[in-house]
C-alpha cells in the first residue's frame, strides 16, 4: 500500500474511533438521566423486609431463601428485600413488616411491580421442641388491598406420626415442611385474589390496632395481630394493611397498643372506610418448653371489637387455651405449636365476629 493509501486508512480509522466515542458518550449521557434507584426490568412482585419477632438473627437466613425458592418455582419475577434497600433508604420508607400507602405508591412507581409481599417471622425455636412460625400477606398495589394472607406454624412433633414416623430430623427439614404448607395455604396462583364471594353485608372492611403485649414473650401482641389478620383475610374480609393504620397514628402523633381514642377511630373510618376495628391484649403467650412428654403451649387473650363510625363496643372475646385441651390418650391430639394454638384461637374468634356482625350490620341488597 502506498503512502496516500495508508494516510486515508489512518484518517478513516480515526474517524471511526471518534464516532464510537461520541456514541458511547451519548449512551452514558442517556443513562445518567435515569434515576439511580429506578428498576427498569419487568417484575411482578417486590418482597419487603420481614419483621423478625423471633429474637434470633439467623432466622432470616433460614426463611428468606425458602420464600425465594417458592417464588422461583411459581415462575414469579420478583425483587428480593435485599435489593430494595437503596430505594427504601433513598425515599425514607419504613417497611419492616408493614408499609404505608405513600411508601407503597413510591415502590410501585420505582419498580413497576403489581404486588408487594410483606410478613413476619413469628417463632423460631431450636431448644426444647423446635418450632417455626411465619406470617405472609400479599398487597395488590392497584387496589391497595390485602388480597391474600396466611400464617402457619409447626413443631417437629406436629409432623410426627405413630412411633415418631415422619418427624423432621433437622431444623432445615422442619423449615422446608413449614414453608411448603404455608404456600399451600396462600393458594395457587399466588398473585391472584381467591375465587370466593368474600363477606357479604354492609360491614366488610376491618382494621387491626396492634395488640398490647403483657406476656413474657417479646412481640406477642404483634405476632397474634398478624395471625388474626391472616384468618380474617382467609375468611373473606377486606383487611386494611397494617402500615396504613400506622400512618394515621404517626400523622396524629399517637401510639396505640390495645386501645384507640375516638378521634383516631373516626379518622380511620373516614380515610380507610372501615366499619369495624379490632384490638386487645395478649396476657399469656408461652411456647411448649421442657420435657416433650409434658410440653404444650399456653395462651390467654382478650379482644374488643368496636364500631368504627361511633366507637361503640360491639363485642368482647376472652380466651385461655392450652395445647393440652385437645389431647387424648398417648398424647394424641396435643397441640405442640404455639403458633398453631394461636391460629386455632384466631379462627374461632373470627367465627364469633361473623356471628356478631350478621346481627348488627344488615345485608346489602
Q: Which residues sit opposite 280 in a β-bridge? A: 303
Give the burial string for 193-224 (b: 16+ CB within 10 Å, else e).
eeeeeebeeebbbbbbbbbbbebebebbbbbb
Q: Which residues sit opposite 131 in a β-bridge? A: 125, 155
Q: Which three cell numbers stand for residue 85?
A: 434497600
CA 278/CA 307 separation, integer angstroms = 9
CB 183 within 8 A of CB 201: no
List Cβ neighbours of 276 (8 Å cut-off, separation of 6 or more).
203, 205, 206, 207, 305, 306, 307, 308, 314, 353, 357
Residue indicated by cell numbers 375516638: 262
CA 147/CA 233 separation, integer angstroms = 7
Query: Could you write out the DSSP letters of every residue in 217-228?
Result: STTHHHHHHHHH
Mean pLDDT of 309-330: 86
- Return the pLDDT at 364: 52
- Return the pLDDT at 17: 37
3-class DSSP state of 141: coil
CB 215 within 8 A of CB 282: yes
- Return the pLDDT at 328: 64
Q: Identify the band that residue 332 occupies on the pLDDT scale cut at 50, 70 and 90.
A: low
pLDDT tens-digit series, residues 102-111 = 999 999 999 9
What length does the chain have? 365
Q: Identify the band that residue 79 occupies on the pLDDT scale cut at 50, 70 and 90.
A: very high
Q: Which three cell numbers stand for residue 41?
A: 426490568
pLDDT at 129 over 90: no
pLDDT at 22 over 50: no
CB 306 within 8 A of CB 265: yes
pLDDT at 2 over 90: no
Mean pLDDT of 267-291: 91
Residue indicated by cell numbers 395488590: 140
Whole-number percent of the chain with pLDDT over 70: 82
Which H or E run contains 340? helix 338-360
- Return the pLDDT at 76: 95
Topology of 45-360 in CATH? Answer: Rossmann fold (3.40.50)
Mean pLDDT of 161-189: 82
Amino acid at each position: 500500500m502506498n503512502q496516500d493509501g495508508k494516510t486515508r486508512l489512518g484518517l478513516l480509522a480515526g474517524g471511526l474511533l471518534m464516532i464510537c466515542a461520541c456514541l458511547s458518550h451519548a449512551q452514558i449521557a442517556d443513562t445518567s438521566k435515569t434515576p439511580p434507584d429506578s428498576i427498569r426490568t419487568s417484575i411482578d412482585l417486590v418482597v419487603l423486609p420481614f419483621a423478625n419477632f423471633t429474637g434470633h438473627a439467623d432466622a432470616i437466613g433460614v426463611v428468606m431463601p425458602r420464600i425465594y425458592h417458592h417464588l422461583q418455582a411459581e415462575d414469579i419475577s420478583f425483587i428480593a428485600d435485599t435489593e430494595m434497600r437503596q430505594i427504601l433508604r433513598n425515599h425514607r420508607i419504613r417497611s419492616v413488616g408493614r408499609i404505608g400507602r405513600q411508601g407503597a405508591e413510591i415502590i410501585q412507581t420505582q419498580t413497576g411491580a403489581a404486588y408487594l409481599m410483606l410478613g413476619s417471622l413469628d417463632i423460631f425455636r431450636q431448644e426444647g421442641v423446635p418450632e417455626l412460625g411465619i406470617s405472609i400477606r400479599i398487597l395488590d398495589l392497584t387496589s391497595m388491598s390485602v388480597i391474600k394472607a396466611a400464617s402457619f406454624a409447626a413443631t417437629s412433633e406436629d409432623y410426627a406420626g405413630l412411633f415418631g414416623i415422619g418427624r423432621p430430623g433437622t431444623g432445615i427439614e422442619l423449615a422446608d415442611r413449614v414453608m411448603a404448607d404455608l404456600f399451600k395455604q396462600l393458594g395457587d396462583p399466588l398473585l391472584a385474589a381467591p375465587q370466593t364471594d368474600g363477606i357479604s353485608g354492609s360491614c366488610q372492611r376491618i382494621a387491626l390496632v396492634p395488640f398490647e403485649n403483657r406476656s413474657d414473650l417479646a412481640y406477642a401482641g404483634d405476632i397474634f395481630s398478624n395471625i388474626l389478620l391472616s384468618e380474617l383475610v382467609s375468611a373473606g374480609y377486606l383487611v386494611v394493611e397494617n402500615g396504613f393504620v400506622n400512618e394515621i397514628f404517626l400523622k396524629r402523633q399517637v401510639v396505640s397498643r390495645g386501645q384507640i381514642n375516638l378521634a383516631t377511630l373516626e379518622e380511620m373510618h373516614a380515610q380507610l372506610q372501615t366499619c369495624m376495628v379490632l384490638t386487645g391484649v395478649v396476657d399469656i403467650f408461652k411456647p411448649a418448653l421442657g420435657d416433650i412428654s409434658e410440653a404444650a403451649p399456653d395462651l390467654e387473650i382478650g379482644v374488643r371489637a368496636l364500631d368504627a363510625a361511633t366507637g361503640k363496643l360491639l363485642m368482647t372475646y376472652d380466651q385461655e387455651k392450652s395445647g393440652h385441651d385437645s389431647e387424648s390418650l398417648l398424647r394424641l391430639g396435643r397441640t405442640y405449636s404455639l403458633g398453631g394454638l394461636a391460629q386455632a384461637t384466631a379462627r374461632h374468634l373470627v367465627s364469633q365476629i361473623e356471628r356478631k356482625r350478621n346481627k348488627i350490620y344488615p345485608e346489602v341488597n
